[in-house]
Amino acid sequence: MRAGESRPVIHFDVTELDDWYVLQRDMQIDGGIVPVREDDVLRVRELGARAVQDVFRALDFAPISDAEVEAAITAFSSQDMPDRDRIADIESAMSLLEGSLTVMDVIKALENAGYRNIAENILEMQRQRAIGDYLQPSAIFDKNFRVKSAITDPNDYCGPGTGYRVEGERWSALQYLPQAWEPRNYLEKIITQDESFWFEESGSAQIGKRPEVIIALSPTFGVQIRQSLGGLDLREVLISLLSGIQEEGIPSRIVRVFHTSDVAFIGHCAAQLSGSGVAIGIQTKGTTVIHHRDLAPLENLELFPQAPNMNLDNYSQIGRNAARYALEKQTSPVAVKIDNTVRLRLIVQTALLQRFEANCIEPDRQPVELKMI
Amino acid sequence: MKKNTIYTFSGRSIDELNVRGILSGELTSEDFRIHGERLNHQAKVADEAGYTQLAGNLRQAAELTHMSNEEILEIYNTLRPRRTSYTEMIDMAERLENERKAPLTASLLREAAEVYLKRGIVKH
C-alpha cells in the first residue's frame, strides 16, 4: 500500500474496536465494550487455553498440545493456530453427543485441575438455568451473576437527560484508552526538521491573461509541515495535481497565500488571479477546493472535505477536472473513498493542524508566485 | 416445601447445588433442570410486566419439563413442514392433552395442523 492509503472499511470486526473505544469516549456513549490492556487480555487467554487443555485431558478427548496453547494466547485468527487431527476431534465430539458426559463432568474436571473460579462460574450458569430469571426480556448477567433485565432494570427513558446515563466508574473506564497519546506530541512529530526548501519565490502573484489553472497553497503547505492529515507526502500531492492539469494541455501556476488558512478563501483568492478564473485551493491537511472567480467565496465548483480519505490518484483527477473547467469541458466525479469514521477518529489531529496553520497567517502579506525546485 | 426457596425439577433446593455435591457424585445434571412451577412463576412475572406472549411461551415450556428430550424432539420434528399428515397431528394433540397433561402444547399442535392444511404443507 502506498503511504497515506488505508484499508477500506468494508466490514465491522475486532480490528475496528480501537475506533469503537474512541467513539465511546468522544461522544460519551456506552457502546457496550470497555477498553482492556494487552497484558490482561494475554493473561485471560492463557488461563482459558490451559483450562480447555486440562478439560480435554480429563475427558479423554483428542489432546491439546502445549504448542496449541502457546499459539492461542496471541492468535489473531484460526490461521495462526496449528493444525489438528480433525478426524480425532470429530470422534471426540461424537462421544460427547452420544455418550453420557454432561456439564457436571466438565465442572469436575475444572475443579480437579485447580480452576476453582471457572468451575464455579460454570456451575452458576447451571443454577441460573433452574432459576430462570434470565428468561425475561433483555436479560444479562452482571459480574456477580445478578440478572439485569427489562423487569429488574427497566428502561425509564422519558426525554433528553433521562434514562441511562454514562457516568461514574463506567464513564471513567470508557475514557481510559490504552492507545491514547498526548495531543501535544502530534505536532512535534509532524512539524518537519528538514531545513531544505523545495520552493523558490518568484515575485508577487499577478493576474494571468491566458487559460490556466492556479494551485494556491496555504501558509504552511510543504514548509513547516510536509505531509497531509492522511499521511501523503505534500510534494507528491502537488505533483499529482500538476500532472492532472498537464494532461489536459493547459499551463499551471503555483501561488502561496499568506493572509488566510481557510481553503475556500485561499481558492477564491487564487481564482481572482487565474486567467481562466479557475483555481485549486489546498490546505496543508490536504483539504482541497476547485474554485471560480465568479463564485462567492463559500461557493465552489468542487470541494473535497475528507482529506484522510484522499489518495494521489484523487489529486490527479482534481487537477484534471480543474483544467477541464478552465477549458469549459465536461468533468467526471472524483471517486474518493468513503469512510465516515474518519472525522471522529482524526478530529483532534485536524484541530491541532488547522490551529497551527491559522497561527502562521500573515494578514497583510500578498500572495507570491512559487516555482518547485 | 419452604415458600421462598427455589426447587429444581428433581426436588433439590437451589442452595444444595454446589461444587462439593458435584465432586461427590451426589448431584447429577438432572438436579439442575428447571421445575415447571418455576417456569409458571416466570410466566406470571412476565404477564405482570405486560409481556403476554412471552408468558404464554413460558407456560407452555412448563408443560414440556415432564417430557424427555426424545419426546420433545418428536414434537418438534412433527411441526416441520410436510413431515406429518393432518390426522397424525390431531392425534398427537389428543395424546398430549389426555395422556401427557400438556393442553397448551396440544393447542399449538391443533393450530399448526389447521394452518399447515390451509398452506398445503401437510404430508399426504
Does the pLDDT value for residue A10 go beyond 70?
no
The domain boundary residue, chosen from A175, A195, A223: A175
Residue A113 lies in a domain: yes
Q: What is the pLDDT of residues A314-336, one digit of tens each?
A: 999 999 999 999 999 999 999 99
Does residue A85 sit in the same domain as residue A152?
yes
The domain boundary residue, chosen from A156, A175, A194: A175
Q: Are A62 and A91 in contact (CB under 8 A)?
A: yes
Does the pLDDT value for residue A161 go beyond 70?
yes
How many angstroms separate the Cα of A186 from the Cα of each of A137, A183, A190, A352, A361?
47, 5, 6, 8, 20
Which chain B residues touch A108 with a CB distance below 8 Å?
22-23
Asked if the C-beta of A152 comes within 8 angstroms of chain B's C-beta atoms, the answer is no
Does residue A131 sit in the same domain as residue A263?
no
The ipTM, to two decimals, is 0.90
Which three-class secondary structure state does DSSP give residue A198? coil
Residue A9 lies in a domain: no
Q: Are B46 and B72 in contact (CB under 8 A)?
A: no
Which chain A residues touch B23 with a CB distance below 8 Å?
108, 111-112
Q: What is the CA radius of gyration of chain A?
A: 30
How many angstroms separate the Cα of A16 from the Cα of each of A20, A320, A332, B23, B81?
6, 35, 33, 43, 42
- The pLDDT score that the predictor gives to residue A197 is 87
Does residue A166 sit in the same domain as residue A255?
no
Average pLDDT along chain A: 93
- The pLDDT score that the predictor gives to residue A3 is 45
Q: Are A266 and A218 in contact (CB under 8 A)?
A: yes
- The pLDDT score that the predictor gives to residue A373 is 87
Does residue A159 sit in the same domain as residue A211?
no
Look at the block and give the residue holding cell 414434537. Answer: B75
Q: What is the pLDDT of residues A186-232, one digit of tens each?
A: 888 889 888 888 999 999 999 999 999 999 999 999 999 999 999 99
Residue type, A202: S
Which three-class secondary structure state does DSSP give residue A280? strand
The grid coordinates of residue A298 equal 463559500
Which chain A residues touch B41 with a CB distance below 8 Å?
132
Contact at CB, B17 and A129, closer than 8 angstroms: no
The grid coordinates of residue A49 equal 487455553
Pick from B14, B39, B49: which is nearest to A127 by CB? B14
Q: How far is A115 from chain B (nearest CA, A)?
A: 12
Q: Are A347 and A26 in contact (CB under 8 A)?
A: yes
Average pLDDT along chain B: 94
Asked if the C-beta of A111 comes within 8 angstroms of chain B's C-beta atoms, the answer is yes
What is the percentage of chain A residues whose pLDDT exceeds 90?
82
Residue A8 lies in a domain: no
Q: What is the pLDDT of residues A102-136, one digit of tens each?
A: 999 999 999 999 999 999 999 999 999 999 999 99
Which chain A residues touch B45 with a CB distance below 8 Å?
136, 151
Distance CA A153, CA A161 (A): 18
- The pLDDT score that the predictor gives to residue B3 is 59
- The pLDDT score that the predictor gives to residue A2 is 43
Contact at CB, B29 and A133, closer than 8 angstroms: no
Q: What is the pLDDT of residues A27-81, one digit of tens each?
A: 999 999 999 999 999 999 999 999 999 999 999 999 999 999 999 999 999 999 9
Does the pLDDT value for residue B31 go beyond 60?
yes
CA dihedral (B108, B114, B115, B119) positive or negative: positive
Does residue A47 sit in the same domain as residue A93?
yes
Region A255-268 average pLDDT: 98
Region B26-40 average pLDDT: 94
Contact at CB, B38 and A131, closer than 8 angstroms: yes
Q: How far is A68 from chain B (nearest CA, A)?
A: 29
* Mutation site for B-interface testing, chosen from A110, A122, A124, A126 by largest number of B Cβ within 10 Å: A126
DSSP state of B110: H
* Domain residue limits at A38: 14-175
Does residue A159 sit in the same domain as residue A209?
no
Does the pLDDT value for residue A4 go beyond 70?
no
Of A195 and A175, more confident: A175
| B9 contact partners, CB below 8 Å, separation of at least 6 | A130, B30, B31, B33, B34, B35, B36, B65
Does residue A214 sit in the same domain as residue A352?
yes
- The pLDDT score that the predictor gives to residue B45 is 97
Contact at CB, B51 and A137, closer than 8 angstroms: yes
Residue in A with minimal Cα distance to B11: A130
Does residue A202 sit in the same domain as residue A143?
no
Region A249-262 average pLDDT: 97
Does residue A209 sit in the same domain as residue A170?
no
What distance separates the 2 farthest-apart alpha carbons in chain A? Answer: 92
- The pLDDT score that the predictor gives to residue A103 is 93
Q: Which of B63, B67, B81, B79 is nearest to B120 (CA)?
A: B81
Does the pLDDT value for residue A20 go beyond 60?
yes
Does the pLDDT value for residue B17 go beyond 80?
yes
Asked if the C-beta of A99 comes within 8 angstroms of chain B's C-beta atoms, the answer is no
Residue A2 lies in a domain: no
Look at the block and give the residue holding cell 499459539. Answer: A71
The domain boundary residue, chosen from A122, A142, A175: A175
How many CB atoms sit inside 10 A of residue B31's CB?
19
Residue A180 lies in a domain: no
pTM beyond 0.80: the answer is no
Residue in B with minimal Cα distance to A126: B32
Does residue A149 sit in the same domain as residue A193?
no
Q: What is the pLDDT of residues A277-300, one digit of tens each?
A: 999 999 999 999 999 999 999 999
Distance CA B116, CA B87 (A): 12
- The pLDDT score that the predictor gives to residue A5 is 47
Does the pLDDT value for residue A9 go beyond 70?
no
Give chain A's domain count: 2
Does residue A251 sit in the same domain as residue A212?
yes
Helix (H) or strand (E) segment spanning residue A358: helix A347-359
Region B115-120 average pLDDT: 96
Region A244-255 average pLDDT: 97
What is the percentage of chain B residues whose pLDDT exceeds 70?
98
Does the pLDDT value for residue B1 go beyond 50?
no
Does the pLDDT value for residue A138 go beyond 80?
yes
* Mutation site for B-interface testing, chosen from A104, A106, A115 by largest number of B Cβ within 10 Å: A104
Does the pLDDT value for residue B43 go beyond 50?
yes
CA dihedral (A343, A345, A347, A352) positive or negative: negative
Q: Are A272 and A282 in contact (CB under 8 A)?
A: no
Q: What is the pLDDT of residues B52-104, one digit of tens each?
A: 999 999 999 999 999 998 999 999 999 999 999 999 999 999 999 999 999 99
- The pLDDT score that the predictor gives to residue A6 is 53
For residue A247, the domain's CATH number is 3.40.50.10150
CA dihedral B65, B66, B70, B76 (to 10 degrees): -60
Contact at CB, A104 and B29, closer than 8 angstroms: yes
Does residue A208 sit in the same domain as residue A356?
yes
The grid coordinates of residue A226 equal 510536509
